[in-house]
Structure 1
Amino acid sequence: MAPYRTFLKRHVLWVGFIAAFLPLLALMALQYNSLVKLEAASAYAGEAYLKNFLEGVFDRVLYFYRGNAERVLSVPPSYLVQGNSHKIAWHFRKKEVEGASRLFVMDYTGAKDRLWYYDAASVSMLPSNRQAESRSVFVACAPFQLMSRKGTNLESPNLVVDEKDSDNYMILYPLTNDDFQVVGVAGMVVNMEYFRTRLLPEVIGETLDKYFKDDPDLKPVVKVIDPVDVTAYESDWLPDVAHGVSRYFPWIFSHYRLVVQSGYATPEQWARSNFIVNLSLSGLLAAVLLGGIALAFRAVSRELKLSEMKGDFVSNVSHELRTPLASIRVFGEFMRLGRVTDSEKCEEYGEYIETESRRLTQLLNNILDFSKIESGAKTYHMEPCDLRVVLAQVLKTMEVRNRHSGFNIHYERPDDDFPELRIDCEAMAQAFHNLLDNAVKYSGDSRDISVGLERSGGKVVFWVEDQGVGISRSEQKKIFDRFHRVPTGAVHNVKGSGLGLSIVHHVVAAHHGEIRVKSEPGRGSRFSIILPTTEVM
């Protein structure tokens, strides 16, 4: 169990991320499967809805013609008596109907079959003067004529549609006597122009309003195609209806085809579009959740890293404090116990104590300043100041330490006309001291450090250069972060608080300046503080 605990402790963030990611991945897979099924169901439902629309149109057309035919063609068989044609005419007069171009009666009660047409103007039954139409009527009524001649009983007469003549569609109703024998046929010739120009627009328009009243913009395009593939009616123009839902009219106009298609997309395209939209939204939601998880884990990772860095900071600061305090205590005990009698030694020990005290003070100042920076309470007091004097004081405070450590600091002095700047002298001295202290710490085996002040392009530049261990390019972007220390190598082995360069960066930024670093591993580093000329007095 111990190895597993160690692994979990070291990789707790990755374990947590995977634990959160796997359920999300499973959820996405289930969501995708559901969307695939929903796409199929949506396509089916969309097509079914369009088919229901077709049925609605068919029902209206069927009701119109069947209802009118049942009402008008129910002529009493007793009217088929010689001389009673006027009764048939008045029957048709009382049962006026729309959608019929002609009403007629075929009489089989006499020795010779007679065909009478209703004349609305004279309210009478007249012989036909249209040979082609009459021929079509005789052909349509031929089965009933044969039944009449043979005396075949017809107990349940029904309406019959005849569409043999494409110009003369007819609805027929056989008339039977009390013995169920066919004695005649009442019929109507359908008005084709009325069907195309009045009935279809009215029925289709009302059915569209009924089925798509909640969203009129989604109304489909409807076409009626005749038997020779000519458009008999079109609700709106559509270049291609090959993918529409199509069915032939039932009962009458059975050779006419009703086609309906969405003006935007087919049911399949609509379902696919919804699938893509829903999948995109699900993917976006998953991405947002995954991004939130990633950000949360990143924040936790940063907090853990910061906590680790703070732990290192406490450890390093403790070491930094312990070293000067130990030196001060040892030299103080020597002097207190009277073991130092030589005045030169006494002076030397005093310098040690003073140097370590300054070092301790500098470390405490860094910690206090960092605390103020973090809380936003750090303020700077700008006043005219000579950077040459500031740098000289910093070099003097480090002189004893550098001498005993064997360091040689080469100071390239500026010209005599070097200007004064309006700066915070103490803050800038602290920045100089931190850069020099870093150069001493990270010089490695080299003991040569160069510093200088100069004017360049109207700007004032302070620089520090060492020949030490150097900094890799990847680490150069991080060295100004708080608590940051190079994680491996010779740089990591040097003790430090990790605050020095962070404070330098803040001080320089407060003076509207810029800090640059140029370094290569094993070849040393050069830090430059560049202050703008606008600060020159």
Structure 2
Amino acid sequence: KIIHANHAAIKILAVNEQSIEEENYDDLIQGLNPELTVENLMKRCEFEPESEVFESAGRYYDIRYDRFKDENGKDVGLIMIIQDITQRMKLESMQMDFVANVSHELKTPLTTIKSYTETLLDGAVSDPETARSFLGIIDSEADRMNRLVKDLLQLSRMENNQEKWNMKESDLVKLLTSAVTKVALTAEAKKQKLNCLFEADARVAVVMDKDRIEQVILNVLANAINYTQEGGRIDIDLVVQDREAHIIIDDNGIGIPEDEQSRVFERFFRVDKARSRSMGGTGLGLAISKQIIEEHNGRIELTSRENKGTKVKIILPLSPAVTRGIPNIE
């Protein structure tokens, strides 16, 4: 018989208070773990308190138990603490995956740097052309490591609320036009067409950290350029609806398989790992972009069709001054 069970225990056992009073423990525990009978637990904790972790119906539990004795030292029952540790297990798994990914991402350029350095030390440095080529590769890999560390530090600052935000009311059209100009030469090198569908002389006021929002726009534009074939098309638009500004970047590139689209904002996730690394990507750009936009009370959405193209929407709330009809744009 169960003498006492708090509300958390009742919830974990998925029963009600009446069941606790009327049914015996061994019957109630069957739905959670049939191995946790009184007889089994009493045997396991015969000499000292015991604990174990088990899984049930997709959730993880930490259970600690010991014999309960009266003032004479006689066993009169069992005391048990059950804790739902599902969220903790997920966080620990994420941390382990994160460390493994960081280690892998750093190991790759380090291996390249070491290999080329050893070749130079073995005599290749005497050939100026070879030395220049090798040093260029080493410099490129060092830059890649630097980008990774900078991205990791930025993610860490945002997750710990240590990022400094310079929020001001600014013109989103002007910022978008500037971002498109910065990537124009890269697109031109691939003979791609950047179609600006928005009105360049319009004004859309948004309270934002301009540098951070530009970082997001440039990241999305860079992805569109990188994953769109030569001669491809990238449409850039900005529309206002329901007191929100929608930046829309739509390409006719290689697209993303449907079963992988839900993961594109995960850290280190890449649809095409080899291609992404060859272009210097850290696998953190969209994860950082999502955090930046959410800090602005906005959303970033992605839809894609494989071999057809990808559309990304960056949605930001309009400045309160705009919704009140008061123009005040930096």
TM-score calculated relative to the size of structure 2: 0.58
Q: Is the 8 A contact 1:515 1:529 kept in 2?
A: yes
Q: Give the counterpart of 1:424 among 209, 219, 222.
A: 209
- Counterpart of 1:278, as a letter, is Y
Whether 1:311 aligns to 2:58 is no
Whether 1:292 aligns to 2:61 is yes
Residue 430 (structure 1) shift = 0.5
Q: Is the 8 A contact 1:316 1:497 kept in 2?
A: no
Residue 497 (structure 1) shift = 1.0
Quickly say closer, same or farther: Cα 1:453–1:517, change in 2 above 3 A: same
- C-alpha distance in structure 1 between counterparts of 2:260 and 2:181, whole Å: 31
- Counterpart of 1:280, as a letter, is D
Kindly tell me the number of residue pairs found equivalent between the two proteins: 231
Q: Which residue of 2 aligns with 1:460?
A: 245
The DSSP-based 3-state class of the residue aligned with 2:33 is helix
Which one has the bigger strand percentage?
2
- C-alpha distance in structure 1 between counterparts of 2:199 and 2:149, whole Å: 31
- Counterpart of 2:178, as a letter, is Q
Residue 275 (structure 1) shift = 11
Residue 318 (structure 1) shift = 6.8
- C-alpha distance in structure 2 between counterparts of 1:446 and 1:276, whole Å: 72
Q: Structure 1: which 5+ residue stretches go unaligned?
A: 1-272, 322-332, 338-357
Q: Which residue of 1 aligns with 2:316?
A: 531
Quickly say closer, same or farther: Cα 1:275–1:497, change in 2 above 3 A: same
- C-alpha distance in structure 2 between counterparts of 1:361 and 1:274, whole Å: 62
Q: Which residue of 1 aligns with 2:11?
A: none
Q: What is the root-mean-square deviation in Å for CA atoms of aligned residues?
A: 3.9
- C-alpha distance in structure 1 between counterparts of 2:150 and 2:310, whole Å: 25
Whether 1:520 aligns to 2:305 is yes
Quickly say closer, same or farther: Cα 1:302–1:531, change in 2 above 3 A: closer
Quickly say closer, same or farther: Cα 1:279–1:371, change in 2 above 3 A: closer
Q: Which residue of 2 aligns with 1:138?
A: none
Q: Which residue of 1 aligns with 2:176?
A: 391
Quickly say closer, same or farther: Cα 1:524–1:383, change in 2 above 3 A: same
Whether 1:494 aligns to 2:286 is no
Quickly say closer, same or farther: Cα 1:274–1:416, change in 2 above 3 A: closer
If you compute each CA radius of gyration, which structure gives the higher value, 1 or 2? 1
TM-score calculated relative to the size of structure 1: 0.37
- C-alpha distance in structure 2 between counterparts of 1:320 and 1:460, whole Å: 44
Residue 421 (structure 1) shift = 2.0
The DSSP-based 3-state class of the residue aligned with 2:186 is helix
Q: Give the counterpart of 2:166 among 375, 381, 402.
A: 381
- C-alpha distance in structure 2 between counterparts of 1:390 and 1:318, whole Å: 37
Q: Which residue of 1 aligns with 2:156?
A: 371
Q: Which residue of 2 aligns with 1:437?
A: 222
Between the two structures, name the one with larger relative contact order (CA 8 Å, sep ≥ 6): 2
Q: Give the counterpart of 2:25 among 272, 278, 288.
A: 278
Q: Which residue of 2 aligns with 1:410?
A: 195
Quickly say closer, same or farther: Cα 1:378–1:297, change in 2 above 3 A: closer
- Counterpart of 2:61, as a letter, is G
Q: Which residue of 2 aligns with 1:249?
A: none
Q: Is the 8 A contact 2:255 2:306 kept in 1?
A: yes
Q: Is the 8 A contact 2:144 2:282 kept in 1?
A: no
Residue 378 (structure 1) shift = 1.0
Quickly say closer, same or farther: Cα 1:362–1:404, change in 2 above 3 A: farther
- C-alpha distance in structure 1 between counterparts of 2:312 and 2:112, whole Å: 23
* 1:208-242 Cα shifts (integer Å, max 9, x gaps): xxxxxxxxxxxxxxxxxxxxxxxxxxxxxxxxxxx
Whether 1:511 aligns to 2:296 is yes
The DSSP-based 3-state class of the residue aligned with 2:24 is helix
Residue 370 (structure 1) shift = 2.0
* 1:52-110 Cα shifts (integer Å, max 9, x gaps): xxxxxxxxxxxxxxxxxxxxxxxxxxxxxxxxxxxxxxxxxxxxxxxxxxxxxxxxxxx
The DSSP-based 3-state class of the residue aligned with 2:263 is coil
Q: Structure 2: which 5+ residue stretches go unaligned?
A: 1-19, 35-52, 63-84, 114-127, 133-142, 323-327
Quickly say closer, same or farther: Cα 1:430–1:493, change in 2 above 3 A: same
The DSSP-based 3-state class of the residue aligned with 2:282 is coil
Quickly say closer, same or farther: Cα 1:508–1:440, change in 2 above 3 A: same
Quickly say closer, same or farther: Cα 1:386–1:412, change in 2 above 3 A: same
- C-alpha distance in structure 2 between counterparts of 1:469 and 1:374, whole Å: 32
Identity in percent: 22
